Amino acid sequence: MATTNKKVAIIVSILLIAGSLGYLALGNFGENIVYFVTPSEVKAFTPETYTKKVRVGGMVVKGSLKTQPEPVGLTFELTDGAATIPVAFQGIPPDLFKEGQGAVVEGQWNDGQTFRSTMIMAKHSEDYMPMELKRAGVELPKKDFMKTLDP
Amino acid sequence: MLNRFIRWIQRYKGWFGGAAAVCIFLGLYIGLFASPPDYYQGELVRIMYVHVPLAHTSTLAYSVLFFGSIWYLWKRDPLVDNACQASAGICALFTALALITGSIWAKPTWNTWWTWDPRLVSFSVLLLILGGYLMLRKLVDDPERGGRYAAILAIVGGIDLPIIKFSVEWWRTLHQPMSFSTRGVAISDDILIPLTLMSIGAWLLFAYMVMVRTQILYLTDLLHAKKGRLFSQTHFSQTSP
Amino acid sequence: MTGFYVRWAIMVGGLILLALMTFQQYQRDLSTISLATVLNSPATSKPVRIQGMVKSGTLSGAVDQGQATFELIDGPTTLPVEYAGPPLENIRELKTMVLIGHLDPATKTFKAKDTALINNFGFVAAAYLLTVISICWVLFAMSQRVMVLFKEIKDEKLYEPEIDPLGHNK
């Protein structure tokens, strides 16, 4: 009895590992796994895909951020360099959300006009330095942001 | 009586543990007091001093497991098998902690505890592989056969290492790209010092923990073997005359 | 044996000391008072720290040059702020800010001279405590176990048959 249980457990664990490895190999090795789409790809959406829930990543265009007091919300533009889409969000954005920085938004390209976002995630870059250096204008060698959108 | 290597560990492991303690204490002190906050993330950057060392020590640990498994399949030295099992256990601990601290860092910076980002997924798969490895060892009754299967699993699972490493460069991710790359080092000295200290501390700590764990596994096996011989000898002496 | 416990006592003591020092420093540097407290307290020239969110549609001024006026909200309380100080890199509407300055009692405006970091060290503390405590716990259990095993191996008792191999006692 104990040995049968053990055999089942072994088979289950092997299946689990093989499954996760297979998922990795098939999902990530092809280009099927796309964590987010870019504004250019959103612009190419057809009416059938308007209601699909997607994540869009891009840079928040400087000077495009507008907030509304009632109900609390904001609108801004997201760009990948080639195309720009307007985004609307209701609620308070995360603290690290900022113009000129990356953001990934979840939501729908509802009417083909505005991206209605239900969640904003702030994408930060890989450079780290104290405020004094930043104010002195130091730039560390980081990856060009637009290149992180479309490797 | 004891294996030469186990005796070597017993003599020198203290140096590794001591060096790890010094590096980590110094790193914690600088990381928590003497280093400035980041221009963008503020105090939250301090989470990096635990998260990043944990994360790349766990990939180092898996590399040890990977090459150790190849060595074991080649030479079939049970002590190498013990060392592999030891690294797998420590690697699982570090991987789990790296995932949890990453999640704690992600909430206030990205605004989410978890997301299906390629880096996060591939790193979690590492934990799954290690879970499977340890389970396989426990479940197969014959330790020699279990060690062999587990070694094969560890070698196959090694495919995950380059995926983790380059996931942030190959695919679109929310996780930031590598700070150390061919582009240069994108971390200023004030922040680099505690990070380096904690990283060296984590490597030394891993080395120390693997040594102790290898000793435990070896000594347990030795005790089993001795008890086994004890039974057969006494049984023989009482039944044969 | 004693040396082992002494080493561990020193290490845990050091970690607790470090934790207490950190806690004290952050308490001192990151404590803030609420907007309501500032409005109701008697006027002092001593700088205080306040935390609140920049109200939507109120931010104006040359942020890059370190000049800005806006309103800060904290629950039902609203406080107009005049900021003059270092350039404000990270300010925007609907963002939580910590400001250092004092209340002008005549105009009921907060004169801010600088910004400070938001007190979110709960996350930092959680990450550190979790890592340090779990690694210490595992390390302690491991070191103790290996000590016991070495003792057991060297113990002569191992060679005395403790269990009757023929099973007479069981």
Name the average pLDDT for chain C: 83
pLDDT at position B203 is 97
Find which of A61, A65, A66, A67 to mutate to test the C interface (most C CBs within 10 Å of its CB).
A67
Residue C165 lies in a domain: no
pLDDT at position B30 is 94
Is residue C13 scored above 80 in pLDDT?
A: yes
Residue B230 lies in a domain: no
Domain hosting residue C13, numbered range: 2-23+121-155
Token match 């426990």: residue? B138
- Least CB-CB distance to A122: which of B109, B163, B179? B109
Burial class (CB in 10 A: 0-12, 13-18, 19+), C55: buried
- Least CB-CB distance to C11: which of B21, B50, B215? B21
Over residues B34-49, mean pLDDT: 89
Going from N- to C-terminal start, the domains of chain A cover 1-33, 39-149
Is residue C17 scored above 80 in pLDDT?
A: yes
Residue C162 lies in a domain: no
CATH class of A39-149: mainly beta
Interface predicted TM-score (ipTM):
0.89
- Residues 6+ away with beta carbon under 8 Å from B183: A141, A142, A143
pLDDT at position A30 is 46
Residue B240 lies in a domain: no
Closest CA to A55 of A104, A103, A121: A104
Give yes or no: residues C67 and C107 share one domain: yes
Residue B77 lies in a domain: yes
Give yes or no: residues C43 and C100 share one domain: yes
Residue C168 lies in a domain: no
Instruction: Say yes or no for a CB contact (<8 Å) between B44 and C161.
Output: no
Neighbouring chains to C with at least 3 Cβ pairs closer than 8 Å: A, B
Is residue B32 scored above 70 in pLDDT?
A: yes
pLDDT at position B196 is 95
Q: Report the distance separating Cα B201 and Cα B197, nearest Å.
A: 6
Surface of A (71-130) touching B: CB under 8 A:
94-97, 104, 119-130
Residue B122 lies in a domain: yes
Is residue C62 scored above 50 in pLDDT?
A: yes
Give yes or no: residues C9 and C84 share one domain: no
Residue C134 lies in a domain: yes
Q: For residue C101, what are the β-bridge partners?
A: C48, C112
In tens, the pLDDT along B158-186 reads 988 998 888 888 888 888 888 888 888 88
pLDDT at position C112 is 87
Quick check: A62 contacting B, CB < 8 Å? no
pLDDT at position A12 is 75
- Residues 6+ away with beta carbon under 8 Å from B219: B6, C146, C149, C150, C152, C153
Find which of A53, A59, A128, A150 to mutate to test the B interface (most B CBs within 10 Å of its CB).
A128
Name the average pLDDT for chain B: 88
Residues of chain B contacting residue A124, judged by C-beta atoms under 8 Å apart: 40-41, 109-110, 176
Residue B28 lies in a domain: yes
Give yes or no: residues C18 and C50 share one domain: no
Residue B7 lies in a domain: no
Residue C97 lies in a domain: yes
Q: Minimal Cα–Cα distance from A70 to chain B, Å?
A: 23
Give yes or no: residues C125 and C88 share one domain: no
Total tally of structural domains belonging to chain C: 2
Is residue B229 scored above 70 in pLDDT?
A: no
Domain hosting residue B147, numbered range: 18-35+44-177+192-225
Q: What is the mean pLDDT of each run of 10 residues along chain A (151 residues)?
A: 67 72 57 76 82 88 86 90 90 88 89 87 89 82 78 58
Token match 């904290």: residue? C74
Residue B4 lies in a domain: no
Residue C160 lies in a domain: no
Total tally of structural domains belonging to chain B: 1
User: Rg (Cα) of chain C, in Å, rounded?
Assistant: 29
Q: Report the distance separating Cα A88 and Cα A114, nearest Å.
A: 7
Are A57 and A102 in contact, with CB atoms under 8 Å apart?
yes
- Least CB-CB distance to B46: which of C124, C135, C139? C124
Give yes or no: residues C80 and C104 share one domain: yes
In tens, the pLDDT along C71-126 reads 888 888 888 899 988 888 778 888 888 888 888 888 888 888 888 877 778 899 99
